[in-house]
Amino acid sequence: MEKRDDFNIDLLDSNITGKAFEFHVNDAVFAEIDGLIDRGNIKSIVKCTSTSQGLFRFNIHSEGVVTTQCNRCLADLELRIDTTNELTAKLGDDDSDDGSIITVNHENGFLNVLQPIYEFIALSMPISLVHEPGMCDKAMMEELSKHQATRSSREDAKDNEMTNDEITDDDDADDSEQKPVDPRWEALKKLVDNNKN
């Protein structure tokens, strides 16, 4: 993901505590991110809640709408987003992210919040990305129904063939000599027979 300067927060600002920053994640921004969100319009308010022991704590509230693809019918699926998350950052020698704390190079001093905002939005989305019942694209659902019906009839035919083959095999087995049984199975059969008695 490209870092955009319009999502930077200056950690070297001595008056950062209590400040609130407003960011907009729109279609143009989502287009630059290779992810599961196609489009959207999200307003994120990032507020620095405290700066103690070298740590900067931020409250991030994101609200708006995103568009992704329905996993069932592949049509656009619009989702309402309203999520609040916490982010912790600190100044250090190199830029890094260990999952719980983002380290920002003290020579640069700018925390870029686009990646965390995007991740918080994505994490707030449901696991199953599908329309409500009856809301999927009708033409696609009709096509899916046709393919499922065809597949179902093929599977039924295959099951019938297997059943007929099994019957034939059983008949052949009666007519011909029985194949020798693996001695391990024979020992197991004896154990089962002994338990029955």
Domain ranges within the chain, ordered by starting residue = 5-132, 137-177
Of the candidates 86, 47, 38, 82, the residue with the CA atom closest to the CA atom of residue 62: 82
- Within the chain, what is the greatest distance between any pair of CA atoms? 94
Q: What is the pTM of this model?
A: 0.72
74: left (phi over 0), alpha (psi -120 to 50) or beta: left
Mean per-residue pLDDT for 16-39? 95
Of the candidates 132, 114, 127, the residue with the CA atom closest to the CA atom of residue 42: 114
Phi, psi of 192 (to 5 degrees): -65, -45
Q: Do 13 and 91 form a contact (C-beta atoms < 8 A)?
A: no
Output the CA torsion sign for 137, 141, 142, 144.
positive
| Amino acid code (one letter) for 34 | D
pLDDT tens digits, 127-185: 999 999 999 998 888 888 887 766 555 565 565 565 555 545 555 545 445 666 677 77
Going across the sheet that includes 20-25, the strands are 20-25, 39-52, 55-69, 76-92, 102-105, 96-97
Mean per-residue pLDDT for 36-64? 96
pLDDT tens digits, 67-86: 999 999 999 999 999 999 99
Of the candidates 45, 49, 44, 124, the residue with the CA atom closest to the CA atom of residue 89: 49
pLDDT at 157: 57
Q: What's the full length of the chain, in residues?
A: 197
